[in-house]
Amino acid sequence: MDLLCKMLLHVAQCHFSRFSGSIHLTAFQGIRCRPRSCITAPRSQNTTPCLQSRLSWQQHLPQAGALGNSPSFICSHLRQAQPSAARGGYESASKHFNPADVEVDVAGRSFLVTGANSGIGKATAKEIARRGGTVHLVCRNKERAEVAKEEIVSETGNQNIFLHIVDISNPKEIWNFAEKFRNEHKLNVLINNAGCMVNTRELTEDGLEKNFATNTLGTYIMTTALVPLLEKAADARVITVSSGGMLVQKLNISDLQSGNGPFDGTMVYAQNKRQQVVLTEQWAKAHRNIHFSVMHPGWADTPAVRSSMPDFYERMKNSLRTEAQGADTVLWLAVSAEATKLPSGLFFQDRQPVPTHLPLAYTHSPPEDEEKLMEVLEEFSQKFKSVAPRM
Residues tagged active-site: 269
Report the interhelical angle of 265-286 vs 219-230 (nearest 10°).
Answer: 20
Strand partners, 135: 111, 161
- Counted residue by residue, the chain has a size of 391
- CA–CA gap between residue 171 and residue 238 (Å, rounded): 19
DSSP state of 207: S
Give the H or E element holding residue 304.
Answer: helix 303-308
Q: Whose CA is closest to 278, among 209, 220, 340, 360? A: 220
- Whether residue 273 contacts residue 245, with contact meaning beta carbons closer than 8 Å, is answered with yes
- CA–CA gap between residue 62 and residue 25 (Å, rounded): 23
Strand partners, 191: 113, 239
- Whether residue 75 contacts residue 31, with contact meaning beta carbons closer than 8 Å, is answered with yes
- CA–CA gap between residue 204 and residue 173 (Å, rounded): 13
Strand partners, 353: 348
- Whether residue 188 contacts residue 234, with contact meaning beta carbons closer than 8 Å, is answered with yes
Q: Whose CA is closest to 86, among 381, 320, 374? A: 320
- CA–CA gap between residue 152 and residue 135 (Å, rounded): 10
Scanning 81-216, the segments in alpha helix (DSSP H) are 87-94, 119-130, 142-156, 171-184, 210-211
DSSP state of 116: T
Strand partners, 240: 192, 294
Give the H or E element holding residue 241.
Answer: strand 236-241
What stretches of the chain adopt beta strand conformation (E)? 110-114, 134-139, 161-165, 189-192, 236-241, 290-295, 346-349, 352-353
For residue 157, count CB atoms less than 10 angstroms from its CB and return exposed for 0-12, middle for 13-18, buried for 19 or more. Answer: exposed
* Ramachandran area for residue 196 (φ above 0: left; ψ -120 to 50: alpha; else beta): beta
